[in-house]
Structure 1
Amino acid sequence: MNRNALTLSTVLLALVTVPLTITGAAVALPGLQGGLGADLAAAQWVVNGYNACFAGFLTFGGSLADLVGRRRMFAAGVALFCAGSLACALAGDIALLIAARAVAGVGAAATTAAGSSILAATFDGPARARAFGLLGTVLGAGLAFGPTVSGALVAAADWRAVFAVPATLSALVLLLCPLLPPLPGAAGRRVDWAGGALFTAALMLLIFVLVEAPSLGFTDPVVVAGLVAVLGLSAGFVAAERRCADPMFDLGLVANRPFVAFSLAAGVLMVVMVPLLVYLPSYLIAVVGLGAGEAGAWLLMLTVPSVVLPPVGAVVARRSRGALVAGALVFSGAGAALLVTAGADSTPGQLAAPLLLIGTGVGLTTGVIDGLAVSSVRTEQAGTAAGLFNTARLATETVALAVVGTALAVLSGGRLDGPGFTTALHTVGAALGAVAAAAAVTVIVLLRGRTPG
């Protein structure tokens, strides 16, 4: 195997663990609640803590990779992810599990940012396109088959297995890291420490407020103070980015209407998809009465389109970007709205329409919408645009997870089971459908406008 092939294989093996650990935690949620005696609010932090750290440190990790070197940052990220995942598998109480998931989230962010940077630096021309195409395929496959694999692991062993397997894979990647090209950091590049710290603090504090507000009360002084602090940190972030010579985000991109349209659409598609990936397994297990393995198999209707439909989306995009993106939002929104038909007696046939519609909307745009967003800016802005696009999508997804989790907890009376869970799922599905419809209209309006300058 030549060095480029080894580099590609190592990065792909590392990054396939990212969707596996997200879906794994979702499938493991009912089991770990019982096994650790955790209440719902604490169990939600197993998911939200990981995603908040992942989203908050993604772009920051890319900046650090430019400073300290891509291979060094990649190895550090893999090591953190491995240690965090192993600690998850061994955790004896919910507090340790949440802390370990946060460590794994930081490691996943560093691994993703540095791994993408390694591919960009190693390959060029058509070879780079093929490498990133394979990356998209691997991530899509991990997302598609993650629930099924995780369900099988829980059924065969217990919830700890869904953390032990990613830990084992990342340990293997760690052994391969010395074989990667050194790729030292860029001379003269400075890390935007202030912007990174303010952005991460604002996002994680917002997640804390959204998750804890139902139990503390929305008028509790801690919640109110938290929201005020989020606003202050956000204002400080904008001010810091405007003053910084080498900012983490180029805020001027928000004036680019196509870029904003594609970023909005990508975020909303994840707003619909990811919370359902996390909470539908719990519904299928607790209300419909499926085993973890069966629940994972049913979710293939939701996830497989993300693997098989991207080529179709690419063809449609060449004819009409607006039709593709707005249509994808309509499909996903319609599927979410149709979840009002779900119930304790649901069958795969009854859930096929909503799940396939959601999956179709996401699948048609997987990878394609990333290219549309980056292609909508000037060439010299491509790297910054890619970082902002991915961070915005992940941050939106993370906030959506917290909001949906909070809504389900409140509407179900604090227990994700029984008729209350069904009513909560119906309400959330209808709300997600409305959000997707509004986003489709907004995208059409934005794409009809003209991009400044």
Structure 2
Amino acid sequence: MSPVSTDRRRWLALAGIAIASFLGCIDFTIVNTAIPAIQRSLSAEVEQAQWIVTVFVMALSACMVAAGRLADLLGRRRLLYAGMLVFGAASLGAGLAQSMAALVAWRLLQGVACAALYTTSAAIVAHMFAHSERGRALGLLFAANGLGLAIGPVAGGLLVASVGWRSVFLLNVPLIAAAFALCLGRVPESRGERARFDMAGFVLLAAALPCMLLAIAHGSAWGWTSGATLGAAGAGLALLLGFVLVERRVAAPLLQLSLFANGRFVLAGLANFSLAFFYCAAFFLLPWYLSSVRGQDSGAIGWLLLPVTAVMALVSPLAGRAADRVGTAPLLAGGFAFLALSAAMQAGFTVETNRAWIIAALAAMGIGWGCILGPATVAALACVPPHLSGVAMGASWTLHNLGAALGLTIATVVFQQTGFGAALWLLCGLSLLTLSLLLAGWWQARAAAAPAAGR
């Protein structure tokens, strides 16, 4: 085969992988604008509707690290293809679902499939391209991911307004089929370091998260001291304890717990956790406000949410370059300051709030998100040796997805009990607390470095 033909095959494969990764990212934000329409269509309560998103990020949280290990063991191409097929089937099932229970079950499968897409895509692209082209190829892949996050709210709003909420899921089917066709026969197989899969750790973690989320989500309805709530919470804590004990003993743990003895990694993980907690909660609350309080239709909701992700997409590359010059700490601190400002502005939203004020609040959220997303990942990788970078990335994204699941669940409970404003003040408080911890850690690190520099 000629070099030109081989080169063309690589770039076509990259296009297919980018489409699949794009679909995984757009599913984070496109579904939120459809939730009010889904509620009306399936006659669902707010606490039922939030599981459409919660179960997706919960599956991601439980399966991200496991998918990476399976890719190393079975082959990245094989897991990518499996993820594509499952994602397509789950999207079709979600689009045809006739009940909330069925929709939530299909969303669970979508989350599992997206875990496979996320963990395999970058590794496959890095393996396919030589070092001289790798940066460009990975840049295009991550640009597709950012585009998916950015256009999700607008695409969701327009699709729901023009075709209906089912189109948000059904559109995935032909697109993932096109991605599969582009990849088929063009993606080379690759594997990482083979290690025995930690099945016990995976089962314990996958079982612990639903128990904890059930206790939080339904505690107010069941009663916070009821047997059901305490039983679910107790089971979740026991399973988490079992997970920690297993991970400390196995030779190839699913999650490298020694990372959490590194204070700088813990702070980077906290930033990732808090960011996901914030934006998943906000993206659930904002469509409700725009729909129920201001009476906006789905198309208008999509356009009004665009300032968040569009500004995030614009700020992210600038933040990445700034992190190289000034370090990650100032960007993370500034990002959480913007998130706190945005939450405080949103907490005061009423039916009469000026549209310019709403756009300014959402733009502030986009600035904060853009300042945190890339630098938090860079900070997590910078504080571990190179041979642990893959493990650190998996742990960091597990914390990110766990924050997303908990944020959505806790904010929904607060919203149901005390209202929209209180839920936003919760997000403001979280941002300020994270900012304070980051500044304290930064100050402590500077203080520790000063005597060492003087010796």
Specify the TM-score bucket, using the shorter chain as the normaliser. Answer: over 0.9
Query: Which of the residues 419, 426, 435 maps onto 1:431?
Result: 426
Query: Which of the residues 170, 173, 176 maps onto 1:167?
Result: 173
Does the CA contact (< 8 Å) of 2:273 and 2:404 recur in 1? yes
* CA 244–300 in structure 1, closer or farther in 2 if over 3 Å, else same: same
Residue in 1 that maps onto 2:4: none
Please state if 1:278 is matched with 2:284.
Answer: yes
Which structure 2 residues correspond to residues 205-354 of structure 1 after superposition, within 5 A? 205-317=211-323, 318-354=325-361
Secondary structure at 1:183's aligned position in 2? coil
* CA 395–236 in structure 1, closer or farther in 2 if over 3 Å, else same: same
Bigger mean CA offset, 160-169 vs 270-279: 270-279
Cα drift, residue 124 of structure 1: 5.0
Please state if 1:46 is matched with 2:52.
Answer: yes
Does the CA contact (< 8 Å) of 1:56 and 1:204 recur in 2? no
Cα drift, residue 332 of structure 1: 0.8
- CA offsets 1:207-251 (integer angstroms, 9 cap, x no match): 222222222221221110111111111111111111111111211
Residue in 1 that maps onto 2:453: none
Bigger mean CA offset, 28-37 vs 117-126: 117-126
- Alpha-carbon separation, structure 2, partners of 1:431 and 1:282: 17
Residue in 1 that maps onto 2:452: none
Does the CA contact (< 8 Å) of 1:81 and 1:107 recur in 2? yes
Please state if 1:130 is matched with 2:125.
Answer: no
Does the CA contact (< 8 Å) of 1:337 and 1:431 recur in 2? no
Residue in 1 that maps onto 2:437: 442
Structure 2 regions of 5+ residues with no counterpart? 1-6, 450-455
Please state if 1:7 is matched with 2:13.
Answer: yes
- Alpha-carbon separation, structure 2, partners of 1:220 and 1:328: 40
Does the CA contact (< 8 Å) of 2:12 and 2:183 recur in 1? no
Report the AA paired with residue 161 of structure 2.
A
TM-score (norm 2): 0.92
- Alpha-carbon separation, structure 1, partners of 2:280 and 2:167: 21
Cα drift, residue 163 of structure 1: 0.7
Query: Which of the residues 380, 384, 393 maps onto 2:400?
Result: 393
- Alpha-carbon separation, structure 2, partners of 1:133 and 1:278: 30
Report the AA paired with residue 136 of structure 1.
F
Report the AA paired with residue 271 of structure 1.
F
Please state if 1:409 is matched with 2:404.
Answer: no
* CA 365–188 in structure 1, closer or farther in 2 if over 3 Å, else same: closer
Residue in 1 that maps onto 2:149: 143
- CA offsets 1:397-442 (integer angstroms, 9 cap, x no match): 111111111221222xxxxxxxxxxxx2211111111111111111
* CA 430–394 in structure 1, closer or farther in 2 if over 3 Å, else same: same
Bigger mean CA offset, 130-139 vs 263-272: 130-139
Which structure 2 residues correspond to residues 90-109 of structure 1 after superposition, within 5 A? 90-109=96-115
Report the AA paired with residue 185 of structure 2.
L
Secondary structure at 2:352's aligned position in 1? coil
Residue in 1 that maps onto 2:70: 64
Report the AA paired with residue 259 of structure 1.
F
Cα drift, residue 204 of structure 1: 2.0
Please state if 1:361 is matched with 2:368.
Answer: yes
Structure 1 regions of 5+ residues with no counterpart? 412-423
Does the CA contact (< 8 Å) of 1:272 and 1:333 recur in 2? no
- Alpha-carbon separation, structure 2, partners of 1:383 and 1:133: 18
Please state if 1:183 is matched with 2:189.
Answer: yes
Does the CA contact (< 8 Å) of 2:319 and 2:374 recur in 1? no
- CA offsets 1:54-96 (integer angstroms, 9 cap, x no match): 2211111111111111111011111111111111111111111
- Alpha-carbon separation, structure 2, partners of 1:196 and 1:446: 32
- Alpha-carbon separation, structure 1, partners of 2:251 and 2:257: 13
Please state if 1:17 is matched with 2:12.
Answer: no
- CA offsets 1:276-312 (integer angstroms, 9 cap, x no match): 1222112201111111111110111211111111232
- Alpha-carbon separation, structure 1, partners of 2:37 and 2:153: 14
TM-score (norm 1): 0.93
- Alpha-carbon separation, structure 2, partners of 1:205 and 1:119: 36
Identity %: 30
Does the CA contact (< 8 Å) of 1:306 and 1:359 recur in 2? yes
* CA 274–100 in structure 1, closer or farther in 2 if over 3 Å, else same: same
- Alpha-carbon separation, structure 1, partners of 2:423 and 2:269: 23
Cα drift, residue 184 of structure 1: 4.4
Residue in 2 that maps onto 1:112: 118
Bigger mean CA offset, 207-216 vs 301-310: 207-216
Residue in 1 that maps onto 2:386: 379
- CA offsets 1:254-275 (integer angstroms, 9 cap, x no match): 1222222122112212222221
